[in-house]
Amino acid sequence: MGLFITFEGIEGCGKTTQAALLDEHLRSKGVETLLMREPGGTALGEKVRGILLTSEGAGIDAIAELFLYEACRAQLVNDVIRPALAKGITVICDRFIDSTVAYQGFGRGIDIAAITSANTIATNGLSPDITLLIDCPPEAGIRRALSRLDADAGPREDRFEREALAFHTKVQGGYLKLAASNPDRIKVINGEREIPLIHKEICDIIKR
């Protein structure tokens, strides 16, 4: 079985950059990798992404939002992640089950136990081998994220960036609680440093 690595964190924490850097690093070492993102990675996932992350999704009920994410996840795990892992490929995923607990659970207030059950059904019990949580203050993360979006010519995926600061503070707190309860799997990385320093720490963790 291949190694399953996930990246987590609030908007603008730098996880997407770090996931790409780790993918590049492992490939340079001769490791076969697959870099994925949630929602996305399948035809269904990419279509639903356009609803969940843009203004098209304005007004979506929190429970409906939860199940849209779980539907995308189920398709991604079944069609892409499990087959790749079975071939010995290292899978790197930008967001996974912990995002749903942090955002829909701690952020939206949906029962955590219910979300955990939904995650288990969607993944058929698949859990990451290691999760890298890039931690940064919500104010800094949102500022970075909005700056990036302003420079991006693609569809404006800013539905979560437009949430109140209090929401992002709840999400960050939820992530840290998850890390405290899963210290063997979830490694908290200080995201307030230069990109190369963060990348080096991540590479050192993966080497272990």
Q: Write out the chain's pLDDT in tens, 208 residues.
A: 999 999 999 999 999 999 999 999 999 999 999 999 999 999 999 999 999 998 777 889 999 999 999 999 999 999 999 999 999 999 999 999 999 999 999 999 999 999 999 999 999 999 999 999 999 999 999 988 888 766 665 667 788 988 999 999 999 999 999 999 999 999 999 999 999 999 999 999 998 7
- Rounded distance between C-alpha atoms, residue 23 and residue 28, angstroms: 9
- Rounded distance between C-alpha atoms, residue 45 and residue 179, angstroms: 27
- Rounded distance between C-alpha atoms, residue 27 and residue 21, angstroms: 10
Q: What CATH code is carried by the domain that includes residue 163?
A: 3.40.50.300
As for how many domains the chain has, the answer is 1
Q: Which of the 8 DSSP states describes residue 170?
A: H
The CA-atom distances, in angstroms, between 58 and each of 65, 72, 99, 163 are: 11, 19, 19, 11
pTM of the model: 0.94
> Which structural domain range is residue 144 located in?
4-207
> Over the range 177-195, which residues count as b (16 or more CB within 10 Å of their CB) and which as e?
ebbeeeeebbbbbebeeee
- In this structure, are residues 105 and 161 in contact, taking their beta carbons and an 8 Å threshold? no
